[in-house]
Amino acid sequence: MLYRKKVILGFIIIFLLLTIFPCNSTATGVSARAAILIEQESGRILYEKEAHTKMRIASITKIMTAILAIESGKMDEMVTVSERAVQAEGSAVYLQKGEKIKLEDLVYGLMLRSGNDAAVAIAEHVGGSLEGFVVLMNQKAQEIGMTNTEFANPHGLDDHENHFSTAYDMAILTQYAMKNETYQKISGTETHKAPNPNEKWEREWENKNKLLTGLYKYTTGGKTGYTVKAKRTLVSTASKDGFNTIVVTLNDPDDWQDHMNLHDYAFNNYELVNLKKQGTLNKIDNEFYKNRVFIDRNVQYPLTTDEQEKVKISLSLLTPSKAWEDLKNVPNIVGQMSVKLDEKEIAKLPIYFDNGKVEKPKDTFWQLFKNLFLATVGVNKDG
């Protein structure tokens, strides 16, 4: 009887341990105060925890500093390092006052070694002053939809109360930055060498991102961060079989493990499904449009196995006009494709007429289309 009780107690203990410390890759048990996991291309949120809570972000701030430097078109210019840059506190690449260094090398030092001196030098060169650069940072944040973010410096140090963001905002910043090939390359670089002004040997910087330097084989880049007030912050990107993911954690004592678990959760539970291929649309009922309308990109979206059966695709097309007998009069954009999952629209894109050109619709297109729309032809699940 006693033996039986011990066995039962043993099973209970094992069950509790597995519940608290799951051995498989799931999105539960994330130790971060705030976290988010998104698929990179679509931006679909696959997991979130306090993702819109405003918090200190430490050095992941430097993702914004890096992308602004890259987009400035000044990467080949030489930067003269100021005394203000040299005096920046915290992590550094040990720049020297008055030295001249290429902006590109500074961005590598910023991203790989989290150099606060590099951040100030970049800000002063690109923005004209540190304060001017901060204005650019906040303008870019507004432009890409970071609605709960305010930047006060280019490095993330705790010297301003009004310097904060959210896990979600940092995810969409990373999504934006990862569209830039130069950013992708720098963020995913393990080591970089840069000239040393007063020595015979070169500076050699190794990336602080342990996920990238051997801990997680699917890692493609990211940025580490830490301050006393913000605690550990981390952004990481990963890719497996063409499925690209972004994870952001704020105030996370176990960030390396959390990031690996979250990326694995995406890879194990979702598939990046190509819902509609780029090119000519088939199964069009209207004779005028048959073999003449197309979409200019693939429609891809991360879905679970169950969700794949719930996707519906519908087409809306303008009613052909008599004037269109001359094909030169046919508008470039003649309709829209809507993709829905459980009645929620997950993608919307223009349908082009095959008139030999493809022009991206202006911001006002969808309103214009709505106003001009007379009737629809064909509502197809598989357009």
What amino acid occupies position 310? K
The total of other beta-carbon atoms located within 10 Å of residue 42's CB is 16
Element of type H or E holding 11: helix 2-20
State yes or no: is 239 an active-site residue. no
Q: Are 46 and 39 in contact (CB under 8 A)?
A: yes
CA-to-CA dists, residue 35 to 48, 91, 345, angstroms: 6, 25, 25
**Span between the terminal Cα atoms of the chain, in Å:** 67
Candidates 49, 82, 91, 114; catalytic one: 114
What is the distance, to the nearest Å, from the Cα of residue 49 to the centroid of all Cα atoms in its chain?
Answer: 17
| Positive or negative: CA dihedral 257, 262, 263, 267 | positive
Strand, coil or helix: 12 = helix
Q: Count H helices, E strands: the chain?
A: 10, 16
The DSSP-derived string for 266-325 is: HHHH-EEEEEE-SEEPP---STTTTTTEEESS-EEEEE-TTGGGGEEEEEEEPPPPGGGG
- Any catalytic annotation for residue 59? yes
Catalytic residues: 59, 62, 114
